Amino acid sequence: MDWIIEQLKKEKWSPYAAGVFLGIVNVLALVLISKPLGASAAFAKFTSYVVKIFYPSALHQMYFKFVMPPGINFTVVVVVGIFIGGFISAKMSGDFRWRMVTDQQWIQIFGPSVWKRWGIAFIGGLLIEWSARLAGGCTSGLAISGTMQLAPSGLIFIGGLFAGGIITTFLVYGKKY
């Protein structure tokens, strides 16, 4: 127990160690709840639930009827857990801070404007969630949970992710790349 607390108080683990830990968590998910872990579906699932309350006529649409019927399923709980886990981890290592603009690197490239950060984060988040539903999963649900079960879709997604990310970063950063 002391050892666990000591590890949690560290600011950072080696990415290899954290990755091995995530791998074990993913295997445990298959053993304990017979489902691969994912994150992005939770947001669509929860949206579907909100739609059911405020705009029930939209439930007849194909998407909410067959792909994402409303409800709170395990993946919503997992996302709540991710939030709590991240909070605990940041708190214990003393890394937790309230900030409007995330990072020194962001300020160097885009300036200190809060609106710019929040606007771009919103657009980026929109693209992430929409494309995750298009591809059938996100970095956790498809790239990790899919690839570890040797699904070709996971590897195709990883290829696309890095191609899209490298090109965009190259264009956005320009001379600072």
Partner 1 sequence: MEVTLWEFIWSLLLGIGFGISLQKAGLTKYGTIVNVFRFKDLAVIKYMLAALITAMPLIFLLKDLGLITLTNINPTYIAGNLLGGLIFGVGMSLSGY
Residues 25-64 that bind partner 1 (CB under 8 A): 25-37
Site residues (CB under 8 A) for partner 1, limited to 136-155 = 136-154
What minimum distance in Å lies between the beta carbon of 4 and partner 1? 10
Nearer to partner 1 (CB atom), residue 64 or residue 75: 75
Residue with tokens 């409800």: 71
What is the spatial distance between Cα 68 and Cα 45, in angstroms, rounded to a whole number? 6
- Binding part of the chain for partner 1, among 50-58, 60-68, 119-127 by CB under 8 A, reads 119-127
Residue 65 amino acid letter: K
Q: Does 68 bind partner 1 (CB under 8 A)?
A: no
Nearer to partner 1 (CB atom), residue 56 or residue 165: 165
Q: Which of 97, 105, 115, 175 binds partner 1 (CB under 8 A)?
A: 105
Of 149, 120, 172, nearest to 38 by C-alpha is: 149
Yes or no: say if 107 and 101 are a contact pair by the CB < 8 Å rule.
yes
Yes or no: say if 111 and 104 are a contact pair by the CB < 8 Å rule.
no
Residue with tokens 């980026």: 124
Nearer to partner 1 (CB atom), residue 58 or residue 163: 163
Nearer to partner 1 (CB atom), residue 58 or residue 88: 88
Q: Does 112 bind partner 1 (CB under 8 A)?
A: no
What minimum distance in Å lies between the beta carbon of 11 and partner 1? 8
What is the spatial distance between Cα 163 and Cα 6, in angstroms, rounded to a whole number? 38
Q: SS3 for 115-135, per residue?
A: HHHHHHHHHHHHHHHHHHHHH
Residue with tokens 């080696």: 14
What minimum distance in Å lies between the beta carbon of 56 and partner 1? 18
